[in-house]
Structure 1
């Protein structure tokens, strides 16, 4: 099966040996995307702003791969503070159309570089 790496300047560059996303088998597999402004490289301040930016970054990666938020089938949200979950849900609901994709949301103790949230996703490639 062919795999194609996806890279866009409209989302933060990978900070390690991984791709922003891989397209394979009619799906886009997106790496965890933090709330970093791709234009400035600055991490947004606070969980609400980081969640908004992470979802904008995810949408940009999906668009670069020929997909969209409407084609999401699965997301995983990693976040540092379980008390932030209601606010994360509010922001997430504004960005993800119905029917909402399947989702996992494990709370973590620590994410690198002061990141409060990272969102990974799987979506269908749109024709």
Structure 2
């Protein structure tokens, strides 16, 4: 029996085929040592995104503005990774007050994803970085697996 290479979307599933986006133009700097997204094969894994005002480095003033920024940044990250909002498979949402935030999250999910809703887990937590109130992470499909060089850096 001949072994076939393990592939996803045409890209070999190997540690050499991982692309990390440490910075993305237009997004605030990460608040810790992490990548905004990691591409592997035909998948993109997006770190938790919060509604940080890029001009101040602090969470936006209102929950509505934080959600708007989260989805703006999510769209930018996905596009930089060769994906889009309608290709999001799964999300995890962290909120500090389920009663206050769940209706806002529901509204934004319907607006952003339409009838292509991803899976979602929503978790109430006691606190988030910088006393923030909402954070969302995602996994999406990339539209095309590309050849990846291990030392790739986002310009």
TM norm structure 2: 0.76
Answering whether residue 19 of structure 2 is matched by residue 9 of structure 1, we say no
In the TM superposition, residue 13 of structure 1 has moved relative to its aligned partner by: 1.9
**Residue of structure 2 equivalent to 1:23:** 39
5+ residue gaps, structure 2: 1-13, 145-155
Which one has a bigger Cα radius of gyration? Answer: 2
The CA distance in 2 between the partners of 1:54 and 1:114, in whole Å, is 16
**Residue of structure 1 equivalent to 2:104:** 87
Task: Deviation per CA, 1:73-113: give whole Å up to 9, x if none.
Answer: 00111111111211221122111232201111111110010
Provide runs of 4+ in structure 1 moved above 4 Å: none
Task: Deviation per CA, 1:46-91: give whole Å up to 9, x if none.
Answer: 2121111111111111111111101100011111111121122112
TM norm structure 1: 0.92
The CA distance in 2 between the partners of 1:95 and 1:39, in whole Å, is 24
Aligned length: 127
5+ residue gaps, structure 1: none
Contact 1:47 1:88 in 2 (8 A): no
The CA distance in 1 between the partners of 2:135 and 2:111, in whole Å, is 17
Give the 3-state SS of the residue equivalent to 1:28 in structure 2.
strand
The CA distance in 1 between the partners of 2:43 and 2:74, in whole Å, is 14
